[in-house]
Amino acid sequence: MKIFLDTADINQIREAAAIGLVDGVTTNPTLVSRVEGKFEDIIREICETVDGPVSAEVVSLDAAGMVEEAKKLAAIHKNVVIKIPMTKDGARAIRELKTLGIRTNCTLVFSANQAYIAAKAGASYVSPFIGRLDDAGAVGMDLIRETMQIYENYGFDTEVIVASVRHPLHVVESLMIGAHIATIPSGVFEKMFKHPLTDKGIDSFLADWEKVKSR
């Protein structure tokens, strides 16, 4: 499973990318609003830092507007993938962009029907939001299971990006299901390295080493 970082913070991206585990980045208007700089410059810098897909989202709601925005965003860098919302106009835009050779990430997906439409329309990626489903009283990971099964049944090439990841267990569940990608906030990415027994073990080894040194 590939790991994408869900942030627009270039410092977080650089730090994670330096470890060599980050395969791509996803952004959205909310994430971009939290950092300084022009939108195009932020996306370009991210693309130059991570050699992988970088999702940038359109804000138009009509298909024609989405397509025009997508063309401009795609021109920023070869790694840009266009995030398109799951709507009728979004599906129209995805189909047109596919004919233009522009990759898309269908976002704000909350049902298996929506995931199916996204793939049939030709989305390169689909982003089911599991954390928000959990918040609404559903089991978000069930949607990942359903989507993976549907895509396998019909041979869709669309890759599933597990989105709205809230904690490391979401990552483990994604791995167990066999999801293609999980896009992970920096805080969750950091927690994946941690375990209290690891810290305890390091402290114990260092304490014992001090005893050895003092002999």
CA distance 14 to 71: 27
Contact between residue 160 and residue 140 where contact means Cβ atoms under 8 Å apart: no
Catalytically annotated residue among 83, 88, 98, 200: 83
* Closest C-alpha to 161, from 9, 23, 39, 63: 23
Among this protein's residues, is 72 annotated catalytic? Answer: no
Tally the residues of the chain: 215
CB 148 within 8 A of CB 112: no
Residue 200, burial from CB neighbour count under 10 angstroms (0-12, 13-18, 19+): exposed
What string of DSSP letters covers 101-157? T--EEEEEE-SHHHHHHHHHHT-SEEEEBHHHHHHTTS-HHHHHHHHHHHHHHHT--
Residues that are catalytic: 83
